[in-house]
Structure 1
Amino acid sequence: MSGPIRRSVLSDDVHDSLKSMILEHQLAPEERVNIDALARTLDVSPTPVREALARLESEGLVRKRPLAGYTVAPLLTRDEFGDMFDMRLLLETAAARWAAARASGAARAGLSAEASLSYEVSSSHAAFTAADARFHDLVAAAAVNPLLREAITRLHAHLHIHRLYFPYAETASTRREHELIAAAIEAGDPDAAEAAMRAHLTAARTRHLAVFDQPSR
């Protein structure tokens, strides 16, 4: 049993390392991925790199083309960004409303605990992205609708949006907004939960839209 466990851990570590490299643009958008070079950089064989790239393809962070291998996915366009937030507003406000009505006591407590965690993780872009996504996934899980949760997960919104722009100065705002959502769900108030999620997503959209006005964009 020890061999497969170690291999699984190695595969996860390589996946997380490559994800961080993509989020922080160490692997640039649309850059071709050299598997052998990455294996040397990470001091592993090419096999876990290929396994990690297959997972990253399912997350929309890399693309595979026949005979051409993998390339890093391009950044969202303004229209794609708008479409993604439209979908989030549709799906995640429903998730918050249903979570307030349906969540178990344990789920409500878990959301409150997660929302109270510090988001001051400027030392790790990937850590903030993962924490942000985890909170939203907990809301989706608390809605007790597996199809809704799957639809939200398949957007991989946090990965794509944080590749565009990492809001270092706004992590405290994210925490406050998450706390309001969690408090409304814990209180069993569907209207307040939906309104808090809508306010959070609307504020997040505004924060991230700034990237499209940058000259380099």
Structure 2
Amino acid sequence: MAQPAPIPRLRRSTLGDDVYETMTALIMEHTLAPGDRVNIDSLARQLEVSATPVREALARLESDGLVRKRALAGYTVSPLLTRQEFMDMFDMRILLESAAARWAAQRATADARDGIVADAAPEAAPAAPDSDAWRAHAAFTTLDAAFHDRIAQAAGNTLLRDGIVRLHAHLHIHRLFFPYAQAGTTADEHRRIAAAIAAGDADGAETAMRDHLTLARERHLGGFARPH
């Protein structure tokens, strides 16, 4: 079995965020594997920090759904989604995000429309990653999440946006499997959604988002055929 990459030293100026980002990467790369118990003192020693920023990071990771806390047992890394949980999550995404796209087409300000189009533009796409490590793919995940969140925000319904954010879909999906070879297809689908929103085409935006998420679900199902 390949040895995990060494944990990098952290910059003290942004310590809390650095600890959170490093621990997120360790979970996404399965260095901290599903079901592993998180030893706070051991992690703090490896990261060369006190236990406080590690505990703060764990609280954020619990909110993200990446770790679970049990009374008297501490934190453990959350299990991967089952196939049924994955399907249920996409059902919710299709329901919520299709509505968000429709409302964004109807309600978005001119600045919001411009931002959505800019996020979907080819020049906004990051360079193709050169490894399978989570850190190499983080830019793709960040851009994908930002595009969907911008649409949810433009929909003008805070409760709807909160519901989408709380799914933490991008973290769970990318932790399971992400078909980066098809990133260009995803980008094309994003541009179709953005064009419909920019044109104020509510029906077109809703359909484009539903089609995108339906196709994305099929692409990501490959994760269940891979060993973890």
What TM-score, normalized by structure 2, do the two folds share?
Answer: 0.88
Check whether the contact 1:23–1:126 (CA below 8 A) recurs between aligned residues. no
Partner of 2:4: none
1:17-32 correspondence runs (5 A): 17-32=22-37
* Seq. identity, %: 65
Residue 194 (str. 1) matches residue 206 (str. 2): yes
Partner of 1:129: 141
Query: Helix, strand or coil: the match of 2:129?
Result: coil
Distance in 1 (alpha carbons) for counterparts of 2:34 and 2:127: 26
Partner of 1:160: 172
- Residue 107 of structure 2, aligned match among 96, 102, 112: 102
After superposition, the C-alpha distances for 1:73-94 in whole angstroms (9 at most, x for unaligned) are 0000011001000000000000
Query: Helix, strand or coil: the match of 1:64?
Result: strand
Check whether the contact 2:178–2:223 (CA below 8 A) recurs between aligned residues. no
Partner of 1:63: 68
Partner of 2:78: 73
Check whether the contact 1:121–1:127 (CA below 8 A) recurs between aligned residues. no
RMSD, aligned CA: 1.6
- Residue 179 of structure 1, aligned match among 191, 212, 221: 191
After superposition, the C-alpha distances for 1:34-53 in whole angstroms (9 at most, x for unaligned) are 11222222222111011000
How far is the alpha carbon of 1:167 from its aligned partner? 1.7
Distance in 2 (alpha carbons) for counterparts of 1:187 and 1:142: 14
How far is the alpha carbon of 1:141 from its aligned partner? 0.2
Distance change (3 Å), C-alpha of 1:207 and 1:119: farther
Query: Helix, strand or coil: the match of 1:87?
Result: helix
Distance in 2 (alpha carbons) for counterparts of 1:27 and 1:77: 18
Distance in 1 (alpha carbons) for counterparts of 2:182 and 2:46: 33
The count of aligned residue pairs is 211
After superposition, the C-alpha distances for 1:123-149 in whole angstroms (9 at most, x for unaligned) are 522332222111100000000000100
After superposition, the C-alpha distances for 1:165-195 in whole angstroms (9 at most, x for unaligned) are 0222121112111111111111110111111
Partner of 2:125: 118
Unpaired runs of at least 5, structure 1: 1-5
1:72-91 correspondence runs (5 A): 72-91=77-96
What TM-score, normalized by structure 1, do the two folds share?
Answer: 0.92
Q: Which amino acid aligns with 2:110?
A: G
Query: Helix, strand or coil: the match of 1:85?
Result: helix
How far is the alpha carbon of 1:7 from its aligned partner? 7.7
After superposition, the C-alpha distances for 1:24-63 in whole angstroms (9 at most, x for unaligned) are 2121111111112222222221110110000000110000
